[in-house]
Amino acid sequence: MKTQINWGIIATGGIARKFAEDFRFVENGTLLAVASRSQDKAQHFANDFHIERAYGSYEALAEDPDVDAVYVATPHDTHVELSKMCLEKGKAVLCEKPMAVNAAQLESLLDTAEKSGIFLMEAIWTYFMPVVRQAKKWVDDGRIGNIKMIQADFGFKTPENPKDRLYNPALAGGALLDIGIYPLAMAHYFAPGEIADIKASAIKADTSVDQTLGMVLTYDDDIIANLTASFRFQMENAAYVYGDDGYVKIHGNFWHPHKAVLMKDSGIEDIVEDDRLSTGYDYETNAMTQWLLEGKKESPVAPFSWSRKSVETMDKIRELIGVKYPFE
Mean pLDDT per 10-residue interval, the chain, length 328 residues: 94 98 98 98 98 98 98 97 98 98 98 97 98 98 98 96 94 98 98 95 98 98 97 97 98 96 95 98 98 97 97 98 97
Task: Say which residues have a Cβ less than 8 Å from residue 267's Cβ, sequence separation at least 6.
Answer: none
Task: Look at residue 252 in the predicted model and tell me its pLDDT.
Answer: 85
B/e letters for 125-150, b = 16+ CB within 10 Å, e = fewer, are bbbbbbbbbbbbebbeeebbeebeeb
Active site members: 97
Task: Look at residue 101 in the predicted model and tell me its pLDDT.
Answer: 98
Task: Say which residues have a Cβ less than 8 Å from residue 24's Cβ, sequence separation at least 6.
Answer: none
- Give me the domains of the chain, ranges plus CATH numbers: 5-125+281-296 (3.40.50.720), 130-273+310-321 (3.30.360.10)
Task: Look at residue 192 in the predicted model and tell me its pLDDT.
Answer: 85
Residue pair 207/167 in contact by the 8 Å Cβ criterion: yes
Q: Using CA atoms, how far apart are residues 78 and 121, in angstroms rounded to an integer?
A: 16
Residue closest to 95 by CA, chosen among 130, 114, 115, 119: 119
**Is the model's pTM score more than 0.95?**
yes
Task: Look at residue 1 in the predicted model and tell me its pLDDT.
Answer: 77
Residue pair 21/50 in contact by the 8 Å Cβ criterion: no
Task: Look at residue 227 in the predicted model and tell me its pLDDT.
Answer: 98
Residue pair 221/190 in contact by the 8 Å Cβ criterion: no
Task: Look at residue 106 in the predicted model and tell me its pLDDT.
Answer: 98
* Distance linking the first and last C-alpha atoms of the chain: 43
